[in-house]
Amino acid sequence: MSIIRNILKNSRSNKDGNFFLLLTKILGYKPKNKELYIKAFTHRSMNIKDKKGNAVNYERLEFVGDAMLSAVIASYLFEEVPHGDEGYLTKMRSKVVSREHLNELGKELNLIDLVESKIPKSNFGNNIHGNLFEALVGAIYLDKGYKYCEAFINKRVIKPHVDIEKLEGRVISYKSLLIEWCQKEKKTFDYNVYEDTGNDDLKHFSVKLSIDEKIISKARATSKKKAEEKASKRAFFAFQKEISKAF
């Protein structure tokens, strides 16, 4: 009996009888290679290895799922938007498969309820939802092939969530958009980020965003990246009319 089969035998999800029942409802069919789906919901904290010493968790399936999502979405946009050039199609695909959107998809399906982990679910970061969604897509492709994978992405991603007009107006990174605008308009910009612990238990960072040497916005968050994005969003709304005209 393989190590994966041992996981199946001893898994909490299998014991309560809900894992494959819930999974079948999500997929719309019964899994053929059950081991793939168990791996898709096994967190690295389980510290499981196969006979060759390779880690058994969902991270490699994420890689496959990411590639399949990109391929299916690219094909859909190519057919649906015949006037779109390469740059336009790339931006639109990025909006569909953005980390934020994938996290929303994972939450929508409650995928975290299926994961096996030694870490309490309350300790997971937000990206666990998108990671599991990608791993599931990877498992579907390896289990059932391209057509089933494409059908799942159409059902769970494209039909309910891909609206071309809405996507065109969706901003996935205010920082990237603001920097692009500044460079296009030959404006100088500076993100002055510094640690700001204050009275919080968690370390925080504050940022002052200056454009043409004038402070435009300030923000505070638990990471530099989040603080910069929040400051950029505030600056975007301060210059929304000018930015809209430029693009």
User: Annotated active-site positions, please?
Assistant: 66, 134
**Closest to 232 in 3D by CA, of 218, 213, 212, 247:** 218
Q: Check: CB of residue 148 under 8 Å from CB of residue 29.
A: yes
Tell me whether strands 205-211 and 214-221 are parallel, antiparallel or unpaired.
antiparallel
Contacts from 101-107 at CB under 8 Å and sequence distance 24+?
A: 101/130, 101/161, 102/69, 102/129, 102/130, 102/133, 102/134, 103/127, 103/129, 103/130, 104/129, 105/129, 105/130, 105/133, 105/156, 105/157, 105/161, 106/130, 106/131, 106/132, 106/133
CB-CB neighbours of 143 under 10 Å: 19
Name the strand (E) or helix (H) holding 214. Answer: strand 214-221
Contact predicate 219/235, CB 8 Å:
no
235-240 contacts: CB < 8 A, separation 24 or more?
A: 235/174, 235/178, 235/209, 235/211, 236/171, 236/174, 236/177, 236/178, 239/178, 239/181, 239/211
Per DSSP, the three-state class of 194 is: strand
